[in-house]
Structure 1
Amino acid sequence: MRKYEGILIFLPTLEEEKRVQLFNRFKGIIEADGSIANVDEWGIRKLAYLIDDIGEGYYILVNFEATPEVVKEIDRVARISDGIMRHMIIREEE
């Protein structure tokens, strides 16, 4: 298992209940074949540049350990989810 750090940027207009459901989906993917070390909700922050004419996003930072297959699945789900504006997952140094 490898250590990763992921950032998810949700639409700021997304209802809290839907955001929690979507984030729980990501947590389920990670916990199925890994473990979450830390979840840090940054809340609504201003974006460095506009994305589809939207200037803010709801940020959640996740530190976790998982296999590369889990990262691929998170990437796939984030791409098809309407509530996610952007996401990035990087592998932490050992």
Structure 2
Amino acid sequence: MRAYETMLVLKADLEEETRDALIAKYEGIVAKEGGTVQQSTKYGKRKLAYEINKNREGFYVLLNFEANTTTPAELERLMKIDENVLRYLTVVKEQ
């Protein structure tokens, strides 16, 4: 198992229930793939450095999790096709 960190930028105009459901969905994917989520931090609505798909603001979420090496690829594949996710980045955390 490796430690990963994923930063998500969601659309800022999503309702709180929808936003929480999306975060729970991605946490569930990590669990389904055999990993564990250590921490999920919501940084809230922030102004973007540049416009992304006509959005000037985004809702930032940080996921810290441990998983096998195939989990981040599956997570990113699903984020890529989700229209509510503006940007994402997954990195391997140093031990």
Tell me the TM-score normalized by structure 2. 0.93
State the partner residue of 1:39. Answer: 40
State the partner residue of 2:70. Answer: 69
Give the residue type in structure 2 aligned to 1:4.
Answer: Y
State the partner residue of 1:55. Answer: 56
Shift of 1:79: 0.4
* Alignment: residue pair count: 94
CA distance in 2, matches of 1:19, 1:43: 11
Give the residue type in structure 2 aligned to 1:84.
Answer: V
RMSD: 0.9
| 2:56 alignment partner, SS class | strand
State the partner residue of 1:81. Answer: 82
Shift of 1:53: 2.4
Give the residue type in structure 1 aligned to 2:23.
Answer: F
CA distance in 2, matches of 1:39, 1:74: 15
State the partner residue of 2:20. Answer: 20
Give the residue type in structure 2 aligned to 1:44.
Answer: K
Provide structure 1 residue ranges, at least 5 long, that are not aligned to the other structure.
Answer: none
CA distance in 2, matches of 1:15, 1:68: 32
Tell me the TM-score normalized by structure 1. 0.94
